[in-house]
Chains A and B, each alone.
Chain A
Amino acid sequence: MTHGSQTQPTKIETLKMTTPLISALAIEKSYSKGQHKVPVLRGAGLTAQRGEFISVIGQSGSGKSTLLHVMGLLDSPDNGEVLLEGKRIDNLNQAARDQLRNHVFGFIFQFYHLLPELTLLENVMTPLMIRHSLFSYWSKRKEIRAEAMDILQQVGLGHRVKHRPSELSGGEMQRGAIARALIAKPEILLADEPTGNLDSTTGREIMETLKKLNEESQLTIVMVTHDEAIAQQAHRIVRLAEGQIATIGREEAA
């Protein structure tokens, strides 16, 4: 595991390969349930190099989703730091965090989380609608539309663009969600149990898509799962238990 010493080096050097793309260091996080504080993460950490495909595996309640949320700035840690290319990002102001979520991170969720009122195409365009103001969106609307159509073709949904999420199957919705994550051209894809709600065949397809993205576009992927078989398809496995790193699997021995 890498440690806090890496926050010090000068910025030019941090761009070198040795600086991980993202690292979460000694994250502590607890939720309060009533009067009790329930610790979820107790010093867990994770570091991903550019182009890596990491799976985080653990039991329910082990804190793997929370770790993902903290890394993706959806949640802030009680203690610890999140570094993006060596720069601390977890303590940025709300606007900057919103910007990073929009530009740097792409999210995929277990329950797809497409917006039910919008068509598939509109769902895919949402990150760019959020990024651009009304005026600049209007002036770029054709390119954005073409781009969204392109990505939907890539994930094999070119024929379903006008459908509402409720008219799509689970696999289609997840591929739509991947398309939505990709349109923002993220540097890191954070996937929270992407196959958790799908049958094994469809799950395999989704995994194929993710692996292809990782190999062809060098997209960094951090995937949370509780399924050993799914986890094995990543480059590296991080095992979480009770909010702490248990083992770091495969290529990187402890």
Chain B
Amino acid sequence: MYKLLLCMRYLKTRYIALASIVSVMLGVATMIVVNSVMAGFTNEMRDRIHGFLADIVVESRSMDGIINGNAQMQVVQDAAGDFIAAMTPTVEVPGMITYNDPITGETFTQPIQILGIDPAGKASVGPLKDYLDSYNVVSEDGTIIRDRLRAVDTPLAWELTASAASYRRMMKQQQMIMIPDDKATGPFGSVVEANAGRNADAGTEIAAPDFDTPFKGNEPVVPVDPTAPMSARIYIGEQITSFQTRDPETGKLHKVNMVNPGDDIIITTIQSNTPPEPISFSATVVDMFRSGMSEYDSQLVLMNIEELQQNRGMIAEDGDAITSIQIRLHNYADADEVVKRIKAAFPPGLVTVSTWEAKQGLLLSAVEVETAILNVLLFMIIAVAGFGILAIFFMIVVEKTRDIGILKSLGASSNGVMSIFLSYGLGLGVVGSAAGVGIGLLFVRYINEIEDALSWVTGRKVFNEKIYYFPEIPTQVNVMMVIWVALGAIGIAVLASVLPARRASRLHPVRALRFE
């Protein structure tokens, strides 16, 4: 009983010990905040990766793809149909994109990854609409600066929005005025020529909707809307053709798009024959997408799959070739089983089957390692706090030497004296951890307000949503993590008090009583 009473009294009266509580508290709070933010980021990142990748991806080993996509999908369906909620064929191929800077007229060419999709099919395996610019509200600093351009229930298609169509019309008319000659200049001319034969929209062989046709006065006039979009249409990753720039006057970051929906760009890729031959064709940007994963937003171009197959020569009578199948499962927990079944269903060496996690395994495990290392480092902070406790406890034991002698003369056992100091350490650990957990959780709860305040004080945006792609800092509190951190801190506090407590318990009562 005296142990508890004394321990409580020491906790209340020794303010120096509070210093060690503070360090335990700060350590615990930091660990909780860092872990929560890391977990929040990881979660968000996984969501985004997952969103673009679908649960399971079946890929052909060769870029030429595997023939007869429908038959392959049937194989998958037969192998694991019960688990599959939806699947969609895709064609994935590397390529290049060429576009003009609208202001300087300079031509840029950039490497990209082209993913041919059927929008409805792609939307059935992952959240496509959420990523498309025209389906989403654009807001900046919490205020809406542009409303949705398409209603949420508009089915996904390769159509221009009304504003993009009028923008396109305006641009085309400008070009007609500026280039009255029939000699096409710029990078587009020749390509448009090459591509002209396949304009599905116009329906005629010569109905290339390129800008200079209307001025070829000698040819028979075909009723063609010169402003109609190309048959190849794309959703372009918004980072591919945009860059961030700081406004010299306001100092604010803003995004500059060099290509907008309605513009035409040139895509260069390879055909699916051996050896592959390069092909180029014009495509109209229908929409921009933003998945939030820089890896996709700066590399990926989504294109209508039929047109891509056509251009790459993947169309065949016995079924068009595809390069991959994206699959969404009813329950992701079955993924391993489904992967096994699909692998078994295909002849060996033909395809690779992987879950999205396995596909992004390196990135995900890098984040895990990062989190683990951060935790080790932060735990070191708490360990440092432990040494603080050790030092302060030694001081307190020296200060309390005479009291220890008194207690022993009154019949207290060595273990009793030891447990005073051990429970003192436990008390410090518990109080420090509890305070740390409280502060940490509060910090996590109000992290965006804190960020605002910090931004206001420093006059500089601490967490720039344009860089990090998040409207606010994502956090996720894992209860087990909090419990482990708190227990770890308490454990360290108790461990740190073992040495001083042993020293106290071994004091000789007479010498302790004589201690001045």
Residue B111 lies at the interface, judged by CB distance under 8 Å to chain A: no
Task: Give residues of chain A (60-100) contacting chain B, Cβ–Cβ below 8 Å.
Answer: 66, 69, 72, 74-75, 94-95, 98-100
Which of A17-25, A129-137, A194-202, A230-238 forms part of the interface with chain B?
Answer: A129-137
In the complex, are the beta carbons of A130 and B409 less than 8 A apart? no
* CB-defined contacts of B403 to chain A, threshold 8 Å: 115-117
In the complex, are the beta carbons of B9 and A132 less than 8 A apart? no
Distance from B339 Cβ to chain A, minimum over Cβ atoms (Å): 58
Distance from B516 Cβ to chain A, minimum over Cβ atoms (Å): 9
Within the complex, which residue of B5, B409, B412, B416 is in contact with A118, where a contact is CB–CB below 8 Å? B5
* CB-defined contacts of B513 to chain A, threshold 8 Å: 74, 109, 113
Decide yes or no: A98 and B5 within 8 Å by CB, A113-B406, A117-B10 being known contacts.
Answer: no
A126 CA / B405 CA spacing, docked (Å): 13
Residue A172 lies at the interface, judged by CB distance under 8 Å to chain B: no
In the complex, are the beta carbons of B406 and A115 less than 8 A apart? yes
- Output the residue of A94, A101, A117, A127 with the most chain B CB within 10 A: A117
Decide yes or no: A131 and B411 within 8 Å by CB, A74-B509, A117-B13 being known contacts.
Answer: yes
* CB-defined contacts of A134 to chain B, threshold 8 Å: 1, 4
| Majority secondary structure of chain A interface residues (helix, strand, loop or mixed) | helix
Residue B408 lies at the interface, judged by CB distance under 8 Å to chain A: yes
Residue B402 lies at the interface, judged by CB distance under 8 Å to chain A: yes
Residue A102 lies at the interface, judged by CB distance under 8 Å to chain B: yes
In the complex, are the beta carbons of B1 and A107 less than 8 A apart? no
Name the residue of chain A whose CB is nearest to the CB of B402. Answer: A113
* CB-defined contacts of A131 to chain B, threshold 8 Å: 411
In the complex, are the beta carbons of A130 and B509 less than 8 A apart? no
In the complex, are the beta carbons of B5 and A101 less than 8 A apart? no
Interface size class of A (residues with CB under 8 A): 20 to 34
Distance from A66 Cβ to chain B, minimum over Cβ atoms (Å): 8
Number of interface residues of B (CB under 8 A): 25
A129 CA / B3 CA spacing, docked (Å): 9
* CB-defined contacts of A180 to chain B, threshold 8 Å: 410
A99 CA / B408 CA spacing, docked (Å): 10
Contact with A along B408-421 (1 / 0, CB 8 A): 11111110100000
Residue A28 lies at the interface, judged by CB distance under 8 Å to chain B: no
In the complex, are the beta carbons of A94 and B414 less than 8 A apart? yes
In the complex, are the beta carbons of B6 and A101 less than 8 A apart? no
Distance from B89 Cβ to chain A, minimum over Cβ atoms (Å): 72
* CB-defined contacts of B408 to chain A, threshold 8 Å: 74, 98, 101
Contact with A along B384-419 (1 / 0, CB 8 A): 000000000000000000110111111111101000
Distance from A28 Cβ to chain B, minimum over Cβ atoms (Å): 16
In the complex, are the beta carbons of B414 and A137 less than 8 A apart? no
A129 CA / B13 CA spacing, docked (Å): 20
Decide yes or no: A107 and B510 within 8 Å by CB, A117-B13, A118-B5 being known contacts.
Answer: no
In the complex, are the beta carbons of B411 and A117 less than 8 A apart? no
Within the complex, which residue of A66, A113, A114, A130 is in contact with B416, where a contact is CB–CB below 8 Å? A130
A100 CA / B410 CA spacing, docked (Å): 9
Within the complex, which residue of A75, A98, A114 is in contact with B412, where a contact is CB–CB below 8 Å? A98
Contact with B along A108-126 (1 / 0, CB 8 A): 0100011111100010001
Residue B2 lies at the interface, judged by CB distance under 8 Å to chain A: yes
A239 CA / B408 CA spacing, docked (Å): 28
Residue A185 lies at the interface, judged by CB distance under 8 Å to chain B: no
**Which are the 10 A-B pairs with shortest beta-carbon distances?**
A102-B411, A129-B2, A117-B9, A137-B1, A129-B1, A101-B411, A113-B406, A98-B413, A74-B509, A75-B510
Interface residues of A (CB under 8 A from B): 66, 69, 72, 74-75, 94-95, 98-103, 107, 109, 113-118, 122, 126-127, 129-134, 137-138, 180, 184
Additional pairs, 17, CB under 8 Å, beyond known A117-B403, A118-B5, A130-B407? A74-B509, A94-B413, A95-B413, A98-B412, A98-B413, A101-B409, A101-B410, A103-B411, A107-B410, A113-B406, A113-B409, A115-B407, A117-B9, A129-B5, A130-B1, A130-B410, A131-B411
Q: Give me 24 A-to-B residue pairs in the complex whose CB atoms sit less than 8 angstroms apart, sorted by A's number.
A: A72-B409, A74-B408, A75-B509, A75-B510, A94-B413, A94-B414, A98-B408, A99-B411, A100-B411, A113-B402, A113-B513, A114-B406, A115-B403, A115-B406, A115-B407, A116-B403, A117-B9, A117-B10, A127-B410, A129-B1, A130-B412, A133-B1, A134-B4, A184-B410
